[in-house]
Amino acid sequence: MVASLLSKAQTYDHALQERKEFPPLLKGKIVALFFFEASTRTRLSFELAAKHLGATVIDVAPNISSLKKGESLNDTVETLKAMKTDFIVMRHHQAGAPHILAREGFEGIINAGDGMHAHPTQALLDAVTLRRHYGSLSEKKIAICGDIKHSRVARSDIKLLIHLGCSIRLIAPYSLMDQNLIIGNVTFSCDMQQGLKDIDALIMLRIQNERMTSSLIPSQEEYFRFYGLNEEKLSHIGKDVLILHPGPVNKFVEIDPKIINHKNCLISEQIRTGVATRMAVFDAMRGNGS
């Protein structure tokens, strides 16, 4: 299933590069975007993906929906079902919210990020991006650096990249680490210089200020000094090491903006790949819509 999704995404990516027309696989289908948290990349790439495949896209916009009048999530989904919605792409601050709706019997739910739990399509697009450069990811050493504790991207990346044969090194201050993630081929270093040794790729993470209940770092300047990626730290790692970041980037907190233009930095490739990956997800699920 994962292998076929990844190669489908690669095929869609080639076609998008060539600005090809796509067969309207989702013609007559309705896709609802249901985002309770802010998003640019994920929301717009799901919208583009659905439109490229011929779907009608509606935006539920929780802030101006009847959720504001106290209507429940379940009743909102029932309303969408009554309108013959086939897919609901959901981002929610609560871990497990999309899963609960799927359990209620709505088959076309797609998780676009739930709390600190998971961001499955980000992991898929990260894997597609890395595979474009490496082919197989078997035996690749991937470091994930930053706010591991609050990161659904880290949790989903770890799961998928381990499945694809990678080993993972987590780099974070203890205050932003989740020790439960250190199992099997996942190791941890609180020292960034040590953690960056002998790696093939580095995934930098965003500091998730919106999820912190108290200040877990002394200051952004100090965090940047110890865990931010700058040209000096980059000069100590292999010249072919690929750099990823899910975005949005906090400049001079986790990354020096100069790095964004480095030839090995794949941030804009990740954004591009997001559209192709989400097309592959719709394509794979098109038999499942409600």
Q: Which residues bind ligand CP (CB under 6 A)?
A: 39-43, 113, 122, 246-248
Between residues 123 and 199, which has the closer beta carbon with respect to ligand CP? 123
Nearer to ligand CP, 119 or 140 (CB): 119
Q: How far apart are CA 117 and CA 124, in angstroms?
A: 15
Beta strands in the chain (DSSP E): 30-35, 56-59, 87-92, 109-114, 141-145, 167-171, 186-189, 201-204, 242-244
> CB of residue 149 vs ligand CP: minimum separation in angstroms?
17
Are 280 and 26 in contact, with CB atoms under 8 Å apart?
no
How many whole angstroms separate alpha carbon 261 and alpha carbon 248? 15
Write the DSSP assignment of 226-284 as a string of letters. Answer: HH-B-HHHHHTS-TT-EEE--S---BTTTB-HHHHTSTTB-HHHHHHHHHHHHHHHHHH
- Closest approach, Cβ 165 to ligand CP, in A, equals 24
Tell me how far, at minimum, the Cβ of 69 lies from ligand CP, in Å. Answer: 27
Kindly state the smallest distance separating residue 259's Cβ from ligand CP, in Å. 17
Nearer to ligand CP, 218 or 248 (CB): 248
Tell me how far, at minimum, the Cβ of 10 lies from ligand CP, in Å: 20
Compare residues 148 and 237 and give the one whose CB is closer to ligand CP.
Answer: 148
Distance between CA 246 and CA 154 in Å, rounded? 10
Q: Which is nearer to ligand CP, 228 or 246 (CB)?
A: 246
Contacts of 217 (CB under 8 A, 6+ apart): 173, 175, 176, 207, 223
Q: Which one, 126 or 256, has the nearer CB to ligand CP?
A: 126
Query: In the bound complex, what is the minimum distance in angstroms from residue 169's beta carbon to ligand CP?
Result: 21
